[in-house]
Amino acid sequence: MSDHKPESLMEKITEKFKDESSSSSSSDSDDDNKISEMKSKVFRLFGREKPVHKVFGGGKPADLLLWKDKKVSGAILGGFTIIWLLFEVLEYNLLTLVCHSLILTLAILFVWSSASTFIKKSPPKFPEVSIPEKLVMEVVSDLRIQINRGLATIHDIATGKDWKKFLSVVVGLFFVSIIGDDLNFLTLVYILVVLLFSVPVIYEKYEDKIDPLAEKVWIEIKKQYTVFDAKVLSKIPRSMKELKEKKKL
């Protein structure tokens, strides 16, 4: 007689559940892979692959621009608005504003400190304010990198290495000069601040609706650039060397 015993009902049910769970887990993993692939294929503005918060550095500056702390972001935007109103609308002078602010601040602190001796209360404690050396070095280092990039671009243009870059810079400066005729520097800075504190947070909130529209616009821009490159830019020599070679031919 055979020693093999038939499987019990519980063992059969257990094996069935194991098979179903393994198949469901594999299907779930396949679905997750498909979803991740679909997300990677979705068009994102400026070709970004990270969340908007990470694009802006992921630190305190990103928190401010995306209004993670509404009180601080509102205070900064409100401060710039007050400065713009004082200088542009009320036509307040910068030196006069600084002097009046210092006079008012020093007067309040002096009266407060003097009155504390008469009312027998401890005078106010003023923190020692100093600029950290590390912060200054980081700012100077970043500024140096940007200045060097600008100087390298100017050098390439001045030596006639790239005509396309020359034309793009000239067109950009021309548009800036047009804007500068209608707007002064402070108003332009204020507009940039308002855009920085409004556009990123709006885009983060409605990115699923903005990205498809941006994709259509980007495709149309690429089509127009291809036509412009074929008709105009491709016929322009990229350097003086190429120009001399064409003249020889």
State the pLDDT at residue 63.
82
State the pLDDT at residue 1.
44
pTM of the predicted protein model? 0.54
Give me the residues of the chain with pLDDT under 70, please: 1-49, 57, 120, 123-124, 233, 235-249
State the pLDDT at residue 175.
85
State the pLDDT at residue 5.
44
**DSSP structure string for the chain:** ---PPPPPHHHHHHHHHHHHHHHHHHHHHHHHHHHHHHHHHS--GGG--S-HHHHTTSSHHHHHHTTSSHHHHHHHHHHHHHHHIIIIIS---HHHHHHHHHHHHHHHHHHHHHHHHHTT-PPPPPPPP---HHHHHHHHHHHHHHHHHHHHHHHHHHTTS-HHHHHHHHHHHHHHHHHHHHS-HHHHHHHHHHHHTTHHHHHHHSHHHHHHHHHHHHHHHHHHHHHHHHHTGGGS-SSHHHHHHHHH-
What is the CA 93 to chain-centroid distance, rounded?
32
State the burial class of residue 32 (Cβ atoms within 10 Å of its Cβ: 0-12, 13-18, 19+): exposed
Report residue 21 as tokens: 């769970």
State the pLDDT at residue 207.
84
**Whole-angstrom distance, CA of residue 237 vs CA of residue 240:** 7
Give the domain ranges of the chain: 206-249
Residues 6+ positions from 207 with CB-CB distance below 8 Å: 44, 45, 52
How many beta carbons lie within 10 A of that of residue 65, not counting itself? 21
State the pLDDT at residue 81.
93
State the pLDDT at residue 14.
58
